[in-house]
Amino acid sequence: MLVRFPVSAFTTAAALALLLVLSGCDRWPDDPRDSLAAAEQRGALRVGVVANPPWVEPNPPGAPGGMESELISEFADQLGLQVQWHHAGVEQQIEALKNFDLDLLIGGFSAAHPWQAEVGQTFPYFIDNRQDGARGKHLILSAPGENALLMELERFLFDHRDPQRFLPRLREASPP
């Protein structure tokens, strides 16, 4: 039986539209609120920190210590950016992230965090097998829908998700 629906016309139109779309963008996927471009212009990433040793150990007004803080510093270095560290309570930080006043938020967050629908998050870059389920999956929160920034950070995390980097210090901080 012959399918008479104009599939070919539809696919051609779709392919043309796709070409048009791809040629018009220098970033794919793009940020709706231009977080990455703004950070490059500013010369700095705005990162919120929430105390959660050994992941994040705030040290205001200086740069915080902890494994996640170091990870973010390396990420910013790779992009040739400084980091503006912002200190506040977790609720204020989530609010700031939702309002695009922050680019990223660190605090040893896991895949079980309660703001899934409100903010963006990376894939789990480290899985702590000593914790059960989602609690052991560590990730970094990002501004909602800022997909260019998210993809950039995840590309960095692909090369830095070596468990040996985190495990010894984690054992040291909380012996079983």
Contact residues for another protein, defined by CB under 8 A: 1, 3-5, 7, 10, 14, 17-18, 21, 24-25, 27-34, 116-124, 127, 137, 142-148, 150-151, 154-155, 158
Q: What are phi and psi of 37, to 5 degrees?
A: -60, -40
Smallest distance, another protein to C-beta of residue 84, A: 22
Q: Which is nearer to another protein, 60 or 162 (CB)?
A: 162
CA distance 57 to 42: 25
Residue 1 or 175: the one with the smaller Cβ distance to another protein is 1
Alpha helices in the chain (DSSP H): 7-23, 35-42, 67-79, 90-98, 147-159, 163-173
> In terms of CB distance, is 64 or 106 closer to another protein?
106
Nearer residue to another protein within complex by CB, 159 or 172: 159
149, 36 Cβ separation under 8 angstroms: yes
What does the alpha-carbon distance between residue 93 and residue 147 come to, in Å, rounded to a whole number?
19
- With H, G, I as helix, E, B as strand and everything else as coil, classify residue 56: strand
Q: Which two tokens stand for residue 159?
A: 């090369």
Q: Nearest distance from residue 144's CB to another protein, in Å?
A: 4
The least distance separating another protein from the CB of residue 94, rounded to whole angstroms, comes to 14
Cα gap 89→72, rounded to integer Å: 19
The nearer residue to another protein, 50 or 153, going by C-beta atoms, is 153
CB of 32 to another protein, least distance (A): 4
Question: E strands, 79-139, where?
Answer: 82-87, 104-106, 120-121, 126-127, 137-138
| Least distance (Å) between residue 65 CB and another protein | 27
